[in-house]
Amino acid sequence: MDYRELLEGVVPEGVRRRLPRRVLRLGDVAVVRLYDGEAWRYRREVGEAVLEAVPGVRCVVAWRGISGVFREPVGEVVAGEGDAETVHVELGVRYKLDPTRVMFAKGNLREKRRLAERGLFDGASVFDMFAGIGYLSLPVAVHRDPEVVYCAELNPVAYRYLVENVRLNDVGDVVVPFLGDCREVAGLIPEVDVVIMGYLKGTLDFLDVALSKVRVGGRVMVHEVFPADWDEGRTAGEVLGAVPGGFEVEVVDVRDVKSYGPGLVHRVVELVRLK
């Protein structure tokens, strides 16, 4: 049932018509995105309607976006029981999280599936510079056979979930979590075969760290937001332009992950270090 039908006569019709059709499910928690300030005023009514309309939901989170370096969500529980901590299963990976405290981008599923399918990771050492709760590291650790996956995460809340998720997925033999800035963690680990840079809006500022940590012949996966009308060449050029002196790289792949709002796209540019 469409939860919006339950809101007829409960919220102003103009607000009701602009409510999102889709509600995200993370485990037994429903997340409804209310970017619109007026809709946010009716978040409790919306939450009750979602709770009634969507089967198997324990509580409802109203969500407005993410903010800051930690990518912290702006959101709260508006209906149902308990807090919003839940276990969400995606591609056979168990992610424990609380969507009012840490982000979860369902739109990154396509990239997670690609990682889970890449033989490149078998036997490889990996450095996930912006690990979060294990968004990208866990599909690699669960579905491939890496030698080791070093994870850096700066936000203590996300780090706590990362440690918990390593345990939940029984990959403690390969995943090594660090709480701290990836620039400092880089000084504590050996050179690796693959670096994952799963950050957006500022990733290129960390390219020197990634390139100094990946072996010659190894790969760096750079995530960033680009104008959607930029072709592969222009996108690759932007990343190549940020490569610091002393390094030489080749772009081996440019791929889309998801749309990132009007006119923008989240892409991965994959590099091989040549020198």
Residues of this chain that bind ligand SAM (CB under 6 A)? 69-71, 103, 105, 108, 130, 132, 135-136, 152-155, 158, 181-182, 198-199
Quote the least distance from Cβ 210 to ligand SAM, whole Å: 12
Query: Could you give phi then psi for residue 153, rounded to 5 degrees?
Result: -145, 130
Nearest distance from residue 162's CB to ligand SAM, in Å? 9
Minimum gap (Å) between residue 254 Cβ and ligand SAM: 17
In the complex with ligand SAM, the residue whose CB is nearer, 182 or 265, is 182
The total of other beta-carbon atoms located within 10 Å of residue 126's CB is 28
Nearer to ligand SAM, 3 or 135 (CB): 135
Token pair belonging to 213:
């940590």
Smallest separation, CB 275 to ligand SAM (Å): 25
- Which residue lies nearer to ligand SAM by CB, 48 or 153? 153
Among 176, 180, 26, which Cα is nearest to 95's? 26
Closest distance between ligand SAM and the C-beta of residue 250, in Å?
A: 24
3-state secondary structure 140-189: HHHHCCCCEEEEEECCHHHHHHHHHHHHHCCCCCCEEEEECCHHHHHHHC
Q: Name the CA dihedral angle for 18, 22, 28, 33, rounded to a multiple of 10 degrees.
A: -40
Least Å from the CB of residue 179 to ligand SAM = 9
Closer to ligand SAM by CB, 209 or 254: give it: 209
CB of 248 to ligand SAM, least distance (A): 25
Sign of torsion over alpha carbons 90, 93, 99, 104: negative
Placement of tokens 């006569």 in the chain:
9
> Tokens at residue 236, please?
């690759």
Walk across the sheet containing 249-259 and list its strands: 175-179, 148-153, 125-128, 192-197, 214-227, 264-273, 249-259
Residue of closest CB approach to ligand SAM: 198
- Closer Cβ to ligand SAM, 19 or 105, answer by number: 105
Between 154 and 269, CB nearer to ligand SAM: 154
Nearer to ligand SAM, 121 or 199 (CB): 199
The CA–CA distances, whole Å, from 179 to 87, 150, 153, 185 equal 22, 11, 5, 8
CA distance 24 to 22: 6
